[in-house]
């Protein structure tokens, strides 16, 4: 049974990547399109498919964060978690998969995140538009598996 599930769509990321695709297409004609244009288009399309949404699932003793269709994902066992708390993240931490001073972070939008502290002391941040609910679900799951 799924204790928590939330998918966030990165509308700004989608818009920026679509603008990049349109700009690439507008910068050439069918007669002059070359390998570089194809490579740039492929890069934009791959980024769009891989990073258009962030899904977080808490179930059966694990926390799973995945971008897009799941090419980039992170699985955390709640048995390895010491605790979690809601934190505000500065805008310059950015979106995507980031290494921050607090540890690795998966974020798609917004300024709130759940900071997960491992029993080893390491930290991992998950950006969320439902940070309180996510933290509560993690704490509930921790009670079941500790």
pLDDT (tens digit, 9 = 90+) per residue, 17-37?
Answer: 999 999 988 888 767 778 888
Q: What's the pLDDT at 87?
A: 97
Q: Domain check: are 41 and 66 in the same one? A: no
Structural domain total, the chain: 2
Q: Domain check: are 62 and 34 in the same one? A: no
Strand runs (DSSP E) across 42-134, as ranges? 53-59, 62-67, 72-77, 81-88, 96-100, 103-107, 112-118, 123-127
pLDDT (tens digit, 9 = 90+) per residue, 30-83?
Answer: 677 788 889 999 999 999 999 999 999 999 999 999 999 989 999 999 999 999
CA 87 – CA 95 distance, rounded (Å)? 16
Q: Domain check: are 66 and 138 in the same one? A: yes
pLDDT (tens digit, 9 = 90+) per residue, 88-105?
Answer: 999 999 899 999 999 999
Q: Domain check: are 131 and 61 in the same one? A: yes
Which range of residues forms the domain containing residue 27?
10-50
Give this prediction's pTM. 0.87
Q: Domain check: are 91 and 74 in the same one? A: yes
CA 128 – CA 87 distance, rounded (Å)? 10
CA 112 – CA 68 distance, rounded (Å)? 20
142 pLDDT exceeds 90?
A: yes
Q: How many other C-beta atoms are found inside a 10 Å radius of the C-beta of residue 115?
A: 19
């Amino acid at each position: 049974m799924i204790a928590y599930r939330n998918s966030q769509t990165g509308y700004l990321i989608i818009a920026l990547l679509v603008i990049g695709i349109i700009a690439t297409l507008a910068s050439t004609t069918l007669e002059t399109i070359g390998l570089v244009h194809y490579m740039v288009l492929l890069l934009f399309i791959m980024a769009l498919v891989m990073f258009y949404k962030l899904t977080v699932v808490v179930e059966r003793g694990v926390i799973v964060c995945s971008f897009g269709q799941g090419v980039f994902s992170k699985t955390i066992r709640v048995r390895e978690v010491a605790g979690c708390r809601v934190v505000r993240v500065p805008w310059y931490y950015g979106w995507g998969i980031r290494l921050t001073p607090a540890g690795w972070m998966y974020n798609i939008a917004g300024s709130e995140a759940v900071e997960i502290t491992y029993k080893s002391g390491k930290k991992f941040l998950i950006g969320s538009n439902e940070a309180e609910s996510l933290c509560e679900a993690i704490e509930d799951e921790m009670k079941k598996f500790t």
